[in-house]
A = this chain, B = another copy of it.
Amino acid sequence: MSGFTFDIHATDGAARTGVITTVRGEIRTPAFMPVGTAGTVKAMLPESVRETGADIVLGNTYHLMLRPGAERVARLGGLHKMMNWPRPILTDSGGFQVMSLAQLRKLDENGVSFQSHVDGATYQLTPERSMEIQALLGSDIHMVLDECTPFPATEGEAESSMELSMRWAKRSKAAFHAAPGRALFGIVQGGVHPHLRERSAAALKEIGFPGYAVGGLAVGEGQLRMFDVLDFTVPHLPPDRPRYLMGVGKPDDIIGAVMRGIDMFDCVLPTRSGRNGQAFTRRGTVNLRNARHTDDPRPLDEMCRCPACRTYSRAYLHHLVKAEEILASMLITWHNLTYYQDLMAGLREAIGEGRLATHAAILRQQYASCDIEPL
């Protein structure tokens, strides 16, 4: 795809580090994409998101199609201009949120119809409409419309769901509004079943995409099973294309997935946790609501370069959380995104220097004290 390339600079076991180049800038991989659901990474100015080290953010098609509306975003000059993020944006297809957020949804061969959770109006999302919406938003990476197979599902359910997603992937590619530097990624489904994942990967390769996502994970199957699925799925993906694990995850999920060859991630965890007073640090996760921080003059994380850690005490952050001050969400989100970006930078460096296994072992010890609730 012209204007969209992926160069692998180094590998370490199954892991790779490299650069995706788009017309709107480079994405260093492995990359973490902060989630900007409704055209804003919550509680952050976009220039601050960039300061954390993010090369790309994710926008949610479902939210944006309902409010402010894809045609309106296009009239305002596209999502990049509207939200003042001139760098790459990936949009999902909208399918996942329809199934998890919308009401009265009805799925058939053609697509899914549903009632908006915002105003109750009825919408339809088909592969063709998803491609149209993502083109109106103007994102750099589009995702095919798929059905995120629920967990648990019987093998028969997982198979027919995967096959529907593969038919939709074909229709998505046919309807894709190509533009310079714009890429459409396929999504592998198939639940926890090796032969279904293999068939799904083969079907997508047959259609041909510049990037491949692993979907249907982080939906309750647990980390061990998720890693199993990656172990038997990733080898079926083209080695020269970026691989994106959707909706993942906690730091140690990301580390394990990078070791299994994943290049891209997105997750609401750092931003949502930030708004709930939970911080990721080099000594594990910290719940700033906890009374033990009341008189603690130390920074949240002495090693961190973010404004929350450079400037404020844990006691002050605790106070802001207790007083439900907006500044609490602002500072802790900023910290968490910085933490995630520094995690990715460390992984990239370790892969480049061939010491990922050692690096991962050190990191995993840090996260042993992780007390954060799963999403």
Contact = CB atoms under 8 A, between A and B. Distances in A.
Contact of A76 (B39, B40, B313): B313
A68 B315 contact: yes
A42 B327 contact: yes
Interface centre among A67, A75, A327 (most CB of B within 10 A): A327
Interface string A222-260: 000000000000000000000000000000000000000
A311 interface: yes
30 contacts: A38-B319, A39-B316, A40-B320, A40-B325, A42-B325, A42-B327, A43-B326, A45-B307, A45-B327, A67-B319, A67-B323, A68-B316, A68-B319, A72-B294, A72-B295, A72-B315, A75-B295, A75-B297, A76-B297, A76-B313, A77-B297, A82-B312, A82-B313, A82-B316, A84-B311, A84-B312, A275-B326, A326-B326, A326-B329, A330-B330
Contacts of A320: 39-40
Interface string A32-55: 000000111011110000000000
Contacts of A312: 82, 84
Total identical chains: 2
Interface in A287-334: 294-295, 297, 307, 311-313, 315-316, 319-320, 322-323, 325-327, 329-330
